[in-house]
Amino acid sequence: MIINEIKQIGERGERQAKDFLISNNYKILETNFHSPYGEIDIIAVDRGTLVFIEVKTRSSDLESALNSISISKRKKISKTADYFLSKNHNLEDMFTRFDVIAILKGNTHTSLKHIKEAFVTTF
């Protein structure tokens, strides 16, 4: 039961992140994009830049959400982004960016922090 609750919290956080991005004029291309290497929560376009977004929802603090994206996780996101580009040749020439949206679920309110260019990688 606890795993199901965690999954539901994550899904709600991803919906909140998606709504936030749409309200800030991002065009959502994919959600929960899977590859042999892993998953990217949201793939969007922000003013001509292709953005790969990892969403982290936590009940403790925003810092723990950001710190949970390990080097290994970053490599998986990078490989998945490369895989996405290999399947979408029309997007290959776009600038790319890796963002993180951290969501803190408190008892009385929710905080959202969007970190643009949260990490860099090379293809």
CA–CA separation, 83 vs 88, rounded Å? 9
* Pairing mode of beta strands 95-105, 110-119: antiparallel
How much is the pLDDT for 94? 94
Q: Can you tell me the distance from the alpha carbon of 58 to that of 23, in angstroms, rounded to the nearest whole number? A: 22
What's the pLDDT score for residue 87?
A: 96
Q: Domain ranges in the chain? A: 2-119
Average pLDDT by consecutive 10-residue portion of the chain (123 residues)? 71 92 98 96 97 87 72 92 96 94 80 88 58
In CATH, the number for domain 2-119 is 3.40.1350.10
Torsion-angle region of 44 (φ positive above 0: left; ψ -120 to 50: alpha; else: beta) = beta
Residue 50: predicted pLDDT: 98
- 30: which 2 tokens? 């994919």
- pTM score, whole prediction: 0.89
Residues written for the chain: 123
